Structure 1
C-alpha cells in the first residue's frame, strides 16, 4: 500500500484552543449533529468524523487547561490539519489564546500543516469578528507558509462548523 493511499485511510486533525473555547461542543456537534452537554476535557477525546467517504477524519480534541497546553506539542506528530478554536467573547484571555496559537505553529511536526481557526460564539453580542481574530492573531504573518482560513461559527447551533471543516479537508486533500 502506498503512503498516499495510507493517508486516505486516516486523516489526523488536531483540535486545540483554550479551555472553554468550545472545542468539545464543536466536535460533538459535527459528530452527532445534536447538542450535548460537555464538561472540561481532562486529557483528550478522539472521534472519527466523515464529511465525505474519501476522507475520514480522526479528530484529536485535546484539553485546553493551562496544564494540558504544556503537552499539546506531543499530539502534533502525524497531524494533517489543525483546527484552533477561539472563544470570540473571552476578551480577557484573547492574548493567551493568540500566544498559544503562535507557540503551537512553531512545532516542527506541523510546520506546513493547514490551519482553520474557528472564531466561536458568534451568536453572543459583542463577539470579536473573524476579521478581528485574523488581525489580532496575526494569521497572515504566522501562517504565510501554509493554507489557512478563519471561520466564524457557533458550536452550539452548528453554524459555520461544516464550512470550516470542509475548508480544512480541501486544504488537506491539496497537499
Structure 2
C-alpha cells in the first residue's frame, strides 16, 4: 500500500498529507454522518502480518485498500484477504474494498479487481468494492457511506 489508510481518510477531509507505508499501526477516529468509527490502519509488510489478528477483536468492518495499478501484489492481497475472512474474530465483519488509483493509466477497474478477488464467492460477509482516487478524494465518500449504512446491522 502506498499510503496509510489514515492518510487516505485525511485526504478526504482536504488535509495535506505526506504519505508513507504504515510501520506497525496507526489509529484514527472519523465521523461519517454522525457515526463514529475508530479506524486501525495496520501495516501490510510481510513481517507484520502475523500480528494482524491482535486487532481483530470487535471488528465490524475490514477495509482493504488495493493499488489498482499493481497486478502482482493483487495475488498477495487475495491470499491475505481470505485468511482474514476465515478468522473467527472477523466472522461478523463486513468488507469494504477501495480500488485506489483509478486516475492512473492502465489501472484495473473495480470490476476486474472484484473478479480477480472472487468477491462474488463471499457469501458470509457483506461486501462492497468502491473505485476511488485518494489524491482527489473521488469515491471515498461513497465507500464510507456504504459503511455507515451497514453499521450496527450485524
- What TM-score results when the alignment is normalised by the length of structure 2? 0.93
**Alpha-carbon offset, residue 22 of structure 1:** 5.3
**Alpha-carbon offset, residue 106 of structure 1:** 0.9
Aligned equivalent of 2:10, options 6, 13, 28: 28
Residues matched between the structures, number: 154
Deviations 1:110-141, CA, capped at 9 Å, x for gaps? 11211110011100011111101111001111
**SS where residue 98 of structure 2 aligns?**
strand
**In 2, Cα distance between equivalents of 1:150 and 1:47:** 22
Q: In 1, are the aligned partners of 2:4 and 2:22 still within 8 Å (CA)?
A: no
Structure 2: which 5+ runs fail to align? none
**Alpha-carbon offset, residue 147 of structure 1:** 1.2
Task: Spell out the pairing of 1:35-114 with structure 2 (5 A cutoff).
Answer: 35-53=16-34, 55-114=35-94
**In 2, Cα distance between equivalents of 1:168 and 1:101:** 18
**Alpha-carbon offset, residue 27 of structure 1:** 2.7
**SS where residue 82 of structure 1 aligns?**
strand
Q: 1:168 to 1:22 in 2, by over 3 A?
A: same
Structure 1: which 5+ runs fail to align? 1-18
Q: In 2, are the aligned partners of 1:83 and 1:115 still within 8 Å (CA)?
A: yes
**In 2, Cα distance between equivalents of 1:38 and 1:172:** 28
- What TM-score results when the alignment is normalised by the length of structure 1? 0.82
**In 2, Cα distance between equivalents of 1:63 and 1:140:** 27
Structure 1 stretches of 4+ moved >6 Å: none
Deviations 1:17-66, CA, capped at 9 Å, x for gaps? xx326534313223x4223102221111111101122x211110111111
Deviations 1:154-174, CA, capped at 9 Å, x for gaps? 111111011101101211232
